């Protein structure tokens, strides 16, 4: 029997299991999104990088990942990796103590695991068509341990350094998008340009399918971050859709003006930029603020991608411009627009007199961006000492599906 002081709340538990399922669906959605954007001969290689994260991250999470994120703190930077090692001590009677939502701890373990799975998978769009699978496998492991797990602890654990300082990140603008985006930038600069470059996506319907799955799953990503059902859950759900829609239309219109044609891929990319940008703020801002953030996302991320192109950086699938810049923008705009009227557990932003909070948000994105960039560069350098990171020119020309995996997505490839 469960302790009478903390009975299971059936509604909250069912809702959180649903949200965990939605966030899990985002990783296959990302695989389809990236798969449609690359060449036909590299579809399986990029999709496999998402699916191996789905499997291998789960193993690491079970072994020590959850403990590093939410175990007893080490100087506010990372949790004790042995405390929940192999999920020991967690039983049917163990309840999540982070709030009074009445959900079993196993639900929190599952929900947070889905975030851990998709975050490193986001980075793969930056070095598509040029990294060996062995190198990626090592990178996936090291990046989770050295970047993702520490920032989850610092931002989302009650004992975390940034959390205790007063930094807010509702669903992952800092922890997920900013870290992944600046890790992507480091990867692009370290690995270098592709040997074989194809600028046109090979399957736009596949991109649309992936976008739809991502958008659908993002409701679990954002609304689920309340960890219970209440009014904030509902507002964060609607804010997610509003920001994505405004960003999609903004990106479409800007590209329409510049290219003289409305582009479907641009509309899809803009929606993802809006989703990434609203993520840190979804549960802390008003509905009209979500629209403003959506417009800002479409505008800023579009020109970030344009800047990347002008500088000649080969971020093939625009991870830095969409996720990195989106996460950074959303976190800073949260510092501007946050309102306790929309979440009593949040803060008041710059417009409501919260100058200190605004500055803390700015510091947090700078620190997380630098940390992710430096550790990513260092890991790739070390991996290169063990096994070659970048594929050879001939292998890239023939295609990574055949060269690395001995499989093809299409029989006529």
- Taking residue 399's Cβ as centre, other Cβ atoms within 10 Å add up to 23
Q: What is the pLDDT of residue 10?
A: 95
pLDDT in tens, 295-312: 999 999 999 999 999 998
* Residue 198, both tokens: 């194809």
Q: Give the CA distances from residue 31 to residues 27, 38, 51, 196, in Å, rounded to whole numbers and listed in that order.
A: 6, 11, 8, 21
* 104: three-class secondary structure by DSSP: strand
* Residue 13, both tokens: 């538990």
How confident is the prediction for the chain on average, in pLDDT? 94
Q: What is the pLDDT of residue 377?
A: 97
Q: What is the pLDDT of residue 1?
A: 35
| Mean pLDDT in residue range 9-14 | 96
Q: Does residue 247 carry a pLDDT above 70?
A: yes
pLDDT in tens, 185-217: 999 999 988 887 777 888 999 999 999 999 999
The answer to whether residues 62 and 87 touch, using CB atoms and an 8 Å cutoff, is yes
Q: Which residues, other chains included, contact 385 with Cβ-Cβ below 8 Å and sequence gap of 6+?
A: none
Biggest CA-to-CA distance, the chain? 66
* pTM of the predicted protein model: 0.95
CATH of 10-388+395-401, one of 3.90.110.10, 1.10.3430.10, 1.10.3470.10, 3.40.47.10: 1.10.3430.10
Which range is least confidently modeled, 291-295, 380-384, 409-413?
409-413
Q: Give the CA distances from residue 281 to residues 152, 173, 206, 235, in Å, rounded to whole numbers and listed in that order.
A: 17, 8, 29, 11
Q: Give the DSSP letter string of 162-202.
A: HHHHT---SSSIIIIIIHHHHHHHHHHHHH-S-SS---S-S
Cα dihedral sign, 169-55-67-220: positive
pLDDT bracket for residue 148 (50, 70, 90): very high
Q: How far apart are CA 240 and CA 293, in angstroms?
A: 10
Q: How far apart are CA 159 and CA 164, in angstroms?
A: 7
pLDDT in tens, 60-108: 999 999 999 999 999 999 999 999 999 999 999 999 998 889 999 999 9
pLDDT bracket for residue 6 (50, 70, 90): confident
Angle of helix 133-143 relative to helix 105-123, nearest 10 degrees, comes to: 130
User: Domain locations in the chain?
Assistant: 10-388+395-401
pLDDT bracket for residue 47 (50, 70, 90): very high
pLDDT in tens, 305-331: 999 999 988 888 889 999 999 999 999
Pairing state of beta strands 73-74 and 78-79?
antiparallel
């Amino acid at each position: 029997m469960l302790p009478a002081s903390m009975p299971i709340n059936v509604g909250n538990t069912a809702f959180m299991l649903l949200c965990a399922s939605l966030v899990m669906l985002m990783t296959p959605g990302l695989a389809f999104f990236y798969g449609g954007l690359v060449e036909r001969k590299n579809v399986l290689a990029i999709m496999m990088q998402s699916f191996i994260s789905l499997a291998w991250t789960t193993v690491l999470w079970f072994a020590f990942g959850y403990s590093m994120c939410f175990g007893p703190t080490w100087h506010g930077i990372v949790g004790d990796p042995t405390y929940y090692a192999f999920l020991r001590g967690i039983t049917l009677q163990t309840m999540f103590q982070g709030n009074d939502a009445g959900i079993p701890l196993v639900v929190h373990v599952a929900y947070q695991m889905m975030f851990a799975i998709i975050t490193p998978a986001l980075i793969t769009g930056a070095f598509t068509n040029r990294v060996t699978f062995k190198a990626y496998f090592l990178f996936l492991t090291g990046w989770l341990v050295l970047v993702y797990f520490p920032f989850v602890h610092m931002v989302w654990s009650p004992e975390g350094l940034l959390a205790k300082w007063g930094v807010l990140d509702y669903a992952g603008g800092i922890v997920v998008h900013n870290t992944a985006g600046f890790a992507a930038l480091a990867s692009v600069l370290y690995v270098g340009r592709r040997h074989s470059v194809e600028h046109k996506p090979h399957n736009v319907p596949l991109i649309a399918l992936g976008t739809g799955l991502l958008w659908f799953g993002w409701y679990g990503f954002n609304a689920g971050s309340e960890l219970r059902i209440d009014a904030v859950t509902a507002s964060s759900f609607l804010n997610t859709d509003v920001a994505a829609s405004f960003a999609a239309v903004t990106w479409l219109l800007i590209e329409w003006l510049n290219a003289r044609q409305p582009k479907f891929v641009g509309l899809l990319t803009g929606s993802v930029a809006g989703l990434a940008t609203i993520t840190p703020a979804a549960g802390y801002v008003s509905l009209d603020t979500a629209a403003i953030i959506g417009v800002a996302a479409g505008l800023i991320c579009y020109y970030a991608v344009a800047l990347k192109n002008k500088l000649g950086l080969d971020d093939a699938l625009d991870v830095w411009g969409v996720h990195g810049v989106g996460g950074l923008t959303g976190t800073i705009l949260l510092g501007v627009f946050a309102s306790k009227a929309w979440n009593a557990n949040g803060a008041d932003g710059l417009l409501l007199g919260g100058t200190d909070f605004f500055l803390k948000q700015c510091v947090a994105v700078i620190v997380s961006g630098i940390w992710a960039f430096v550790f990513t560069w260092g890991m790739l350098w070390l991996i290169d000492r063990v096994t070659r990171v970048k594929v050879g020119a001939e292998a890239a020309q023939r295609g990574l599906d055949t060269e690395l995996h001995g499989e093809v997505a299409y029989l006529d490839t």
